[in-house]
Amino acid sequence: MIKYFFNFFKIIVILAIIAVGGIILYVKLSPKPEISTANSLILYDNNQEVFFQGNESKEWISLNDMSDHLINATIYTEDKNFYKHFGFDFLRILKASYINILSGSTKQGASTITQQYAKNLFLDFDKTWKRKWDEMWYTLKIEANYSKDQILEGYLNTINYGHGKYGIENASKFYFNKSANDLSLAEATILTGIPKSPSNYSPLNNYELAKKRQLLILELLEKNGVITEKEKNDAYNEKLEFSGQDEKEELSTLMYYQDAIMKELKSIKSIPTSYSENKGLKIYTNLDINAQKNLENTIKNTIPENSEIQTSVIMMNPESGGIVALVGGKDYNVSSYNRATDSMRQVGSTMKPYLYYAALENGFTSSSTFTSEATTFTFSDQSNYSPRNYNNTYGNKPISMGTAIAYSENIYAVKTHLFLGSDALINVARRVGITAKLENIPSLPLGTNEISIMEMAAGYSAFANLGYKVEPHLIEKVVDSEGNVLYEAKNNKELVLNSSLVYILNNLLTATYDPDYIDYNYPTAISLASKLKHTYSLKSGTTSGDNWNIGFNKNIVSAVWVGYDDNRPLNTSEYKYAQNIWFESVENYEKGKEDQWYDMPKNVSAVLVDPISGKPANETTKNKKLMYFIKGTEPNVTDQTFDENYDNYIGT
């Protein structure tokens, strides 16, 4: 019986050896993976100038030009059996699995350097069985076709060291202003700790956490006899001087744009998730580098450096939907979280233009009036809702839609919303591209729902385009290294709103900084009246923790959000940040251009009115302003205030 089992075991081993040998032979005979060009990306701005080059970087250096401290720290931290295995460390896998089962977690990893390199070069990071199979396959192909030194050299030249720095030479110059060959033990172990989680272990982001990881790496080196205890202690206690600058003085916000490109790239179905077959990609984008630079400078000059407040900004060409500038945070070096693509916030009163378009579509005009007064709305279930105007300021008289927009009146907005029915606002929002959840509640026009800044910018672009919806995008074209076009943006436009009504709304949205609307209150952006050199439609939005400004003309839509990640309330001075960023960025973008506004449609007429009441002006009217109406809907002195006979609520 023992002899039988021994022979059976011997046969299994022989078959396993044959199988492994067959796999290795097949891998050897299969096409060699091109690690020098795989996953290489060249990004171009809207002038076809290169602004990022990955994996073809001029900063690629040989293993001989890297500090021995760095090489040892990397090997003993990431894969101490690197030179002994064929891509997979099976003992380490078993050990990690055992520890994870006992702890009920997945804290222990077992990826080798080759596996990590394969993942970085050829794969996306979706957690699927196919991706794991591909990772295994590429690992074997790399091991079969390249020496260990070539693999380690490639790995160290391509991994992410945080702050947009890929490769050890780029990282060494950024953090310590020196070549990777000159790194001390202390500097090398700090850098080695970063790739595990660049946003957490960067010493510029979290020095204490970086030092804890450095100590762990130093202890591993001591345990394996690479350094002595004294060397460990000296390195840990060495005072480090960080540069945190790069020779090219790259924009600290540009990485937000680059990250957004990579996110969009993964969503394009014609681009395979593995770039290896394409041997690199050339990606042509809508980036306007001057707009991005001016935007970053404006943010730096507006928000105090020591403040924890954050911002996100999208500047979009409304004609095409091309995003010319994008900021996902105050400083990528401090926080790489991209609020422009990944965050949703309450939008406040920037929701109201969708409501007022719905009102115009349902028979309202620029002069349609509701009474501005403290109001409690009582519903059929006897529940009450008592919204308030900012600072509890009310006119206690009928006011026009123009006045409601100028002051961002909440009472007027809720009355309009209830008068129309909630479906009207939601329908318009959906038509212009808002996909976020919108609750059927009385406060919907006050922006109590959360929406992404990308969707808000896209929604306003339909106003900027006089009713035509466009898809926001960063990428215009993707070409492989052989010149084959893999993708090209279609830039389709779809008419979703009535152009004449949008023209009327766009003029109403200039009331936010128009001195003609000064009466019992001031327009919300009146401080910009003397500063703006061009005409814009503009709306602000405010909640306790969010401040928005979204404005546009024919050439540009700019959406700005400011707030804290933890939703803490803004103080009074911080509510001006979004407006200042918006104003500076759009005026810089429009600098040197003539002020061009929309042509009045043939079915629209201009009438002199009292802007506050909306009534036609006469010889005794003190303040007269041109307001716009669909022909046949011009105001007259007998027009009633909408809430005079409106009993869906009780005014108190």
**Considering Cα of 271, then 292, then 328, then 178, what sign does the dihedral take?**
positive
What does 425-452 look like in DSSP terms, one character per residue? HHHHHHHTT--S----STTGGGT-SEE-
In a domain, 256, yes or no: no
State the chain's mean pLDDT as an integer.
86
pLDDT over threshold 60, residue 104 = no
Claim to verify: residue 237 and residue 156 sit in the same structural domain:
yes
Residue 186 in contact with residue 211, Cβ under 8 Å?
no
Distance (Å, whole) CA 160 – CA 109: 18
Claim to verify: residue 10 and residue 111 sit in the same structural domain:
no
Claim to verify: residue 375 and residue 232 sit in the same structural domain:
no
Claim to verify: residue 126 and residue 26 sit in the same structural domain:
no
pLDDT single digits (tens) 538-594: 999 999 999 999 999 999 999 999 999 999 999 989 999 999 999 999 999 999 999
- The domain boundary, picked from 233, 250, 267, lies at 250
In a domain, 488, yes or no: yes
In the structure, what pLDDT confidence band is assigned to residue 39 with cuts at 50, 70 and 90? Answer: low
Contacts of 46 (CB under 8 A, 6+ apart): 285, 286, 287, 288, 322, 324, 476
- In the chain, the number of structural domains is 3
pLDDT single digits (tens) 235-256: 999 999 988 754 444 678 998 9
Claim to verify: residue 243 and residue 349 sit in the same structural domain:
no
CATH of the domain at 106: 1.10.3810.10
- 307: helix, coil or strand? coil
Long-range pairs for 93-98 at CB < 8 Å and ≥24 separation? none
DSSP code of residue 322: B
pLDDT over threshold 70, residue 2 = no
Q: Which two tokens stand for residue 63?
A: 């293993």
Claim to verify: residue 8 and residue 71 sit in the same structural domain:
no
Distance (Å, whole) CA 565 – CA 543: 14
pLDDT over threshold 70, residue 179 = yes
pLDDT over threshold 80, residue 79 = yes
pLDDT single digits (tens) 415-465: 999 999 989 999 999 999 999 999 989 999 999 999 999 999 999 999 999
Distance (Å, whole) CA 630 – CA 90: 76
Claim to verify: residue 23 and residue 65 sit in the same structural domain:
no
Q: Which two tokens stand for residue 297?
A: 């400078």
In a domain, 327, yes or no: no
**Rounded mean pLDDT, 188-199:** 91
CATH of the domain at 564: 3.40.710.10
Least confident of 88-102, 334-348, 512-526, 606-620: 88-102
Residue 412 in contact with residue 406, Cβ under 8 Å?
no
In a domain, 529, yes or no: yes
- pLDDT value of residue 639: 85
Neighbours of 476 (CB within 10 A): 18
In a domain, 170, yes or no: yes
- pLDDT value of residue 644: 64
In a domain, 495, yes or no: yes
- pLDDT value of residue 248: 44
| pLDDT above 70: percentage of residues in the chain | 83
- pLDDT value of residue 500: 98
In a domain, 164, yes or no: yes
In the structure, what pLDDT confidence band is assigned to residue 150 with cuts at 50, 70 and 90? Answer: confident
pLDDT over threshold 60, residue 411 = yes
Claim to verify: residue 7 and residue 148 sit in the same structural domain:
no
**Considering Cα of 166, then 168, then 173, then 176, what sign does the dihedral take?**
positive
Distance (Å, whole) CA 384 – CA 57: 63
Least confident of 155-159, 305-309, 399-403, 495-499: 155-159
**Rounded mean pLDDT, 385-400:** 93
Contacts of 514 (CB under 8 A, 6+ apart): 406, 523, 529, 611, 625
pLDDT over threshold 60, residue 640 = yes
- pLDDT value of residue 25: 58
- 537: helix, coil or strand? strand
- pLDDT value of residue 20: 54
- 399: helix, coil or strand? strand
Claim to verify: residue 218 and residue 351 sit in the same structural domain:
no
Claim to verify: residue 484 and residue 557 sit in the same structural domain:
yes
Residue 310 in contact with residue 562, Cβ under 8 Å?
yes
- The domain boundary, picked from 206, 235, 250, lies at 250
User: Which residues have a catalytic role annotated?
Assistant: 78, 349
Phi/psi at 41 (nearest 5 deg)?
Answer: -130, 135
Claim to verify: residue 358 and residue 491 sit in the same structural domain:
yes
Claim to verify: residue 68 and residue 154 sit in the same structural domain:
yes
- pLDDT value of residue 651: 44
**Whole domain around residue 565: which residue ranges?**
342-600
In a domain, 608, yes or no: no
